[in-house]
Amino acid sequence: MTTPSGAPGKTDERGTHRRDPYGHADMQRLLEPASVALVGASSNPASLGGRTLANLSTFPGMLYPVNARHAQLAGRTCYRSITDLPESPDCVVLAVPQEAVMDVASECAARGVGALIVLASGYAETGEQGAREQQALLALGRQHGMRIVGPNCVGVAHRGRGLHAAFAEFPPGPSVPGARVGLIAQSGALGLGLSQAAGNGMSISHVLTCGNSCDVDVADYVAWLAQDVSCDSIALAFEGLEDPQRLREAARLARAAGKRIAACKLGVSDDGRAAARWHTNTATDVDGGWPQFFAACGIVQVTRIEALMENASFLAKAPSSRTGGVAVVSGSGGTAILAMDAAQRHGFSTPQPLESTAGRLRSAVPAFGSPRNPCDATAQATRNPESLLACADAMLADPQYAALVIPWGRSQPARLIPELGTLSRRHGKPLCLVWMSQLAGGAAAEEVEQQPGVALFRSLDICFEALANWQKV
């Protein structure tokens, strides 16, 4: 059915209008546009319009800068208005002041534009007048079947399409093939900060922000990523959602497509909820509480935002969940001890290896190492990688263990990692590398990215949390 506002949906038992997440056709002109226009394109590289124009420069489709004061911008013809464009663009980014948004949006609607990305603030987050203006913008969009992203947002990026329609400088992911995380962040600043994980070797397929979410919200983005083959798992950070049931439906679509979701809900405290009302004024609660809601959706809830991306990447890499204990192999006794402490904090059993496993460990580690769990292959493992691989193989083969954790002081030698990947796949168990340096990245991290089954963490606690969540969902 179709509601008067043009959005498909249904009315629930309380009489509340509910729409399903937007389908592929509803979102295609937004996220797979053939043409993009930027109203408010600017020659000032520090302005919103200038930054967005620079980010859009890699777009392979038609790009139309719109600004009445320029004939050319960035080597392209610049147009006076949307009306003057040679075609009706699929997607239009509005980098104009709040006062000008409604006029431009009306022009876009009249021209048959498919989607607007509205950067301006000054809407529902400021009070009743702003809320009315946001409602008018939404009504216009619904009337013309024109998707609206924002207002009060930084934009979107879809790497597989070369689309970077945002004023924020989302970094590109590494150029290696990997477990591709689709990042959805209601807050643009978080989208920008979290996407920097790409600089640590993580493949990020999308950065999708929505700010006030008057039309397109995080549930719509989840539904999109569920069917987008360029994404393997979903990282979601959001503060509010008009209709949490829409997220439940989107999560069901993602699950059906074999994609797992890690989510960080902002505004879980009283003060945080109050702050959210002043930020995007989206509804922040759900009946029964968020932990129960996420559990029912099969979504992994992450409390600390810094754990979100590594959890999502792990979920893109881990094979099917299995029960059991955890084995630890390390080249350093200190990191192995810390791993035991963290395992205990997170309720894991760390049984001693079977006698057959111990025999294999004994023949692989030096006399001053430990053929136990944790297995300390000693610093010699750095120079003699075969010993580390032999220990990893023995531990992964032991049926007591569901996963293997390898803590290390910093990055491991990149040359080892493909062989660890082979072992993980052979045994069908996840292998978690924990590099205990906040700076560890580079070539070795890009090697990890290419190995299904091998996940990278920079915190033991985040690693064991991820494993615990994996065993729960």
Task: Report 277-336 residues binding a copy of itself (CB under 8 A).
Answer: 278-280, 303-306, 331-336
Of 146 and 222, which CB lies nearer to a copy of itself in the complex structure? 222
Of residues 115, 116, 136, 134, the one with CA closest to residue 124: 134
Is residue 223 helix, strand or coil?
A: helix
> Given the complex with a copy of itself, which of 23 and 199 has the nearer CB atom?
199
Q: Is 289 exposed, middle or buried (0-12, 13-18, 19+ CB in 10 A)?
A: exposed
Which residues is 234 bridged to in the sheet? 182, 261
Binders of a copy of itself among residues 343 to 382 (CB under 8 A) are 343-345, 350, 366-368, 370, 372, 374, 376, 378-379
Residues in 402-441 that interact with a copy of itself by CB under 8 A: 408-410, 435-441
- Nearest Cα to Cα of residue 444 among 172, 194, 233, 200: 200
Sign, Cα dihedral of 59, 60, 65, 70: positive
Near a copy of itself by CB under 8 A: residue from 7, 338, 406, 444: 338
Q: Which two tokens stand for residue 430?
A: 């996840």
Distance of CA 4 to the CA centre of its chain: 33
**Integer Cα distance of 87 and 286 in angstroms:** 43
Which strand (E) or helix (H) includes residue 91? strand 91-94
Of 237, 283, 285, 241, residue with least CA distance to 262: 237
- Burial degree of 157 (CB within 10 A; 0-12, 13-18, 19+): buried
Nearer Cβ to a copy of itself, position 228 or 310? 310
Q: Is 112 left (phi over 0), alpha (psi -120 to 50) or beta?
A: left
Q: Using the rule CB under 8 A, is 388 a contact of a copy of itself? A: no
Binding of a copy of itself at residue 100 (CB under 8 A)?
A: no
Residues near a copy of itself (CB under 8 A), total? 81
Listed ranges 54-62, 76-84, 155-163, 271-279: which one lies at the site for a copy of itself (CB under 8 A)? 271-279
Which one, 34 or 337, has the nearer CB to a copy of itself? 337
Tell me which residues in 209-228 interact with a copy of itself (CB under 8 A): none
Q: How many CB atoms lie within 10 A of CB 310?
A: 27
> Given the rule CB under 8 A, which of 19-27, 70-78, 85-93, 123-131 is the region that contacts a copy of itself?
123-131
Footprint of a copy of itself on 233-262 (CB under 8 A): 237, 239
Nearest to a copy of itself of 16, 129 (CB atom): 129
Q: Do 52 and 167 meet the contact criterion of CB atoms below 8 Å apart?
A: yes
Binding mask 444-473 for a copy of itself (x = CB under 8 A): --------------xxxx------------
> Which residue, 229 or 368, has its beta carbon nearer to a copy of itself?
368
Q: What is the residue whose two structure tokens read 């962040």?
A: 185
Q: How far is the CB of 130 from a copy of itself (least distance, A)?
A: 7
Site string for a copy of itself, 138-177 (x = CB under 8 A): --------------x-x-----------------------
226 versus 361: smaller Cβ distance to a copy of itself: 361
271 makes contact with a copy of itself (CB under 8 A): yes
How distant is the alpha carbon of residue 179 from its chain centre?
Answer: 11
Decide whether 138 or 268 has the Cβ nearer to a copy of itself: 268
CB of 252 to a copy of itself, least distance (A): 26
Closest distance between a copy of itself and the C-beta of residue 67, in Å?
Answer: 19
**Residue window 9-48: x/- pattern of binding to a copy of itself, with contact defined by CB under 8 A:** -------------------------------------x--
48-77 binders of a copy of itself (CB under 8 A) = none
List the one residue from 110, 274, 296, 443 that touches a copy of itself (CB under 8 A): 274
One residue of 40, 49, 89, 188 binding a copy of itself per CB under 8 A: 188
- Note whether 258 and 231 are within 8 A (CB): no
- Residues contacting 365, CB < 8 A, separation 6+: 371, 375, 376, 377, 378, 387, 391
Residues 6+ apart with CB under 8 A from 105: 94, 116, 118, 137, 140, 141, 148
Residue closer to a copy of itself (CB basis): 459 or 469 = 459
* Beta carbons within 10 angstroms of residue 376's beta carbon: 25
Judged by CB under 8 A, which of 23, 61, 122, 418 binds a copy of itself? 122
